[in-house]
Amino acid sequence: MEGIKFNKIGVSFKGSGSYVPDQILTNQKISQKVDTSDEWIKTRTGISERRISGLGCNVTDMGYEAALNAIAMANWDIKTVDLIILATSTPHDLFGSAPSIQHKLGAYNAVAFDLTAACSGFLFALITASQFLKGGSFKRAVVIGADQLSSFVDWNDRRSCILFGDGAGAIAIEATNEFDNVIGFEMKTDGERGSFLNLPFKNDKDSIIDNIDFLRGGFSPIQMNGQEVYKFAVKEVPIILKKLFKTTNYSSERVDWLVLHQANQRILDSVGDKLKIPREKILSNLEKYGNTSAATIPLMIDEAIRNNKIKQHDIIATSGFGAGLSWGAALIKWG
Burial class, 77, CB count within 10 angstroms (exposed 0-12 / middle 13-18 / buried 19+)? exposed
**Positions in 140-199 near ligand ACO (CB under 6 A):** 158-159, 162-163, 197
Count of residues that interact with ligand ACO, criterion CB under 6 A: 23
Q: Sign of the CA dihedral 252, 254, 256, 261?
A: negative
Integer distance in angstroms from the first to the last C-alpha of the chain? Answer: 26
Q: By C-beta, is 112 or 163 nearer to ligand ACO?
A: 163
**Positions in 4-63 near ligand ACO (CB under 6 A):** 36, 40-41, 44-45
Among positions 107, 112, 119, 172, the unique one binding ligand ACO when judged by CB under 6 A: 119
Is there a catalytic annotation at residue 261? yes
Alpha helices in the chain (DSSP H): 27-30, 38-45, 59-74, 98-105, 121-134, 158-161, 226-248, 265-274, 286-289, 296-306
Q: By C-beta, is 45 or 97 nearer to ligand ACO?
A: 45
Residue type, 98: A
Catalytic residue, chosen from 27, 69, 181, 261, is: 261
Q: Is 118 in the site for ligand ACO (CB under 6 A)?
A: yes
Among positions 137, 293, 318, 319, the unique one binding ligand ACO when judged by CB under 6 A: 293
Cβ-contact 143, 170 below 8 angstroms: yes
Cβ-contact 178, 11 below 8 angstroms: no
Is there a catalytic annotation at residue 92? no
Site string for ligand ACO, 62-101 (x = CB under 6 A): ----------------------------------------
The DSSP secondary structure of 77-106, one letter per residue, reads: -GGG--EEEEE-SS-SSTT-SHHHHHHHHT
Catalytic residue, chosen from 69, 119, 161, 285, is: 119
Among positions 18, 264, 285, 318, the unique one binding ligand ACO when judged by CB under 6 A: 264
Backbone angles phi, psi at 215, to 5 degrees: -105, 120
Among positions 229, 277, 283, 297, the unique one binding ligand ACO when judged by CB under 6 A: 229
Is there a catalytic annotation at residue 308? no
- Residue 135 is given by DSSP the state T
Among positions 16, 69, 291, 318, the unique one binding ligand ACO when judged by CB under 6 A: 291
Cβ-contact 150, 21 below 8 angstroms: no
Whole-number CA gyration radius for the chain: 20
Q: Which residues are annotated as catalytic?
A: 119, 261, 291
The contact set with ligand ACO (CB under 6 A) reads 36, 40-41, 44-45, 118-119, 158-159, 162-163, 197, 224, 226-227, 229-230, 263-264, 291, 293, 322-323
